[in-house]
Amino acid sequence: MRIATWNVNSLRARIDRVADFLKRHDVDVLALQETKVKDDKFPRERFDELGYEIAFHGLNQWNGVAIASRVGLQDVTVAFPEQPGWGDDEPVVEARALGATVGGGTREDGTAVPRVRLWSLYVPNGREIGHPHMDYKLRWLHTLAGHAGQWAAEETPLVLMGDFNVAPLDTDVWDIAAFEGLTHVTPPEREAFGALEQAGLVDVVRPHTETDTYTYWDYQQLRFPKRQGMRIDFALGSPSFAELVTGAFVDREERKGKGASDHAPVVVELGGSEAGTRA
């Protein structure tokens, strides 16, 4: 089975690229973030045409998450328990988290498909050091970590996929000196990310990629051609999920060309020889 995560930075603007990506890499399950589309405007027909069930959650033109699957889609959950909201008077629980159970059956050729509990997550950005949005980000991550340990201990393999808006290691940015006084690399953010690892989750992509493998390049200042990127998109799996992983890669090609998102998809392969033989 092949699963992927991608912050598409506006799904309707990039639906053709998403469709081509699903076909090219033979993806079974895709977690999407920053879809930027209300539910009543979501292009579900395109996924129907491609043979994917789709679950989505979008409240306005910002944020938004979705999960597309051609191997089953069950137990869809919008938001995690006690998910913090954003706002002063009446905090709104934004469209940043969507969970579903995928797989668990067999293909037409009799090959077993692993059953996985997957969350598509779009962690708040934090905006600036000292900004209220940074406190929101930290509370969001710590609340998530508070549930992740229980989820990871359950029988069904678990993976949290998406844009975490944290670069946990200095090598996850092109030049740590360039981030002096900026978000994404501060000790509180890294501590909050580390709480997920302390809850028992493992970065299943890093062992299969090079040290300078990035997933995000800002549109400004020619960051992409200069290879000035960040690794902020992750797949964090429970031990039982990590045992299923046979490979992973970042599709840097999707950051190229007209109409590209500023993020590249991250792909994870599960299973034995089946995953290794699919191009």
Q: Considering only CA atoms, which of 71, 156, 77, 68 is closest in space to residue 105?
A: 71
Count CA within 13 A, CB hemisphere, residue 19.
14
β-strand 116-122 against 158-163: which pairing, if any? parallel
Q: Per the residue annotation, which of 122, 136, 214, 216 is the catalytic one?
A: 122
Amino acid identity, residue 277? T
Helix (H, G, I), strand (E, B) or coil at 206: helix
Confidence of residue 41 (pLDDT cuts 50, 70, 90): very high
Q: Which residues pair with 23 in a beta bridge?
A: none
The pTM (predicted TM-score) of the whole model is 0.95
85 part of a folded domain: yes
Widest pairwise Cα distance in the chain? 55
Confidence of residue 88 (pLDDT cuts 50, 70, 90): confident
CB burial of 102-119 (b: ≥16 within 10 Å; e: otherwise) equals bbeeeeeeeeebbbbbbb
279 part of a folded domain: no
Residue 214: the pLDDT is: 98
Q: Per the residue annotation, which of 25, 57, 184, 263 is the catalytic one?
A: 263
What are the tens digits of pLDDT across the range 229-253? 999 999 999 999 999 999 999 999 9
Distance CA 153, CA 20 (A): 36
Lowest pLDDT segment from 67-71, 73-77, 250-254, 271-275: 271-275
Domains: count for the chain: 1
Domain that holds residue 140: 2-270
Helix ranges, the chain (H): 15-24, 44-50, 132-153, 187-198, 239-242, 273-277
Tell me if residue 20 is catalytic.
no
276 part of a folded domain: no
Do residues 33 and 162 make contact, with C-beta atoms less than 8 angstroms apart?
A: yes
151 part of a folded domain: yes
Residue 229: the pLDDT is: 98
Binding-site residue ranges for Mg(2+)? 7, 34, 163, 165, 262-263
Binding-site residue ranges? 7, 34, 163, 165, 262-263
CB burial of 163-186 (b: ≥16 within 10 Å; e: otherwise) equals bbbbbbeeebbbeeeebeeebbbb
β-strand 158-163 against 202-203: which pairing, if any? unpaired
80 pLDDT higher than 90: yes
Residue 110: the pLDDT is: 81
278 part of a folded domain: no
* Region 213-221 average pLDDT: 97
DSSP character for 250? E
Distance CA 271, CA 4 (A): 14
65 part of a folded domain: yes
What are the tens digits of pLDDT across the range 145-157? 999 999 999 999 9
Q: Per the residue annotation, which of 163, 172, 203, 233 is the catalytic one?
A: 163
122 pLDDT higher than 90: yes
Do residues 29 and 157 make contact, with C-beta atoms less than 8 angstroms apart?
A: no
Tell me if residue 52 is catalytic.
no
Q: For residue 73, what is the domain's CATH number? A: 3.60.10.10
Tell me if residue 263 is catalytic.
yes
277 part of a folded domain: no
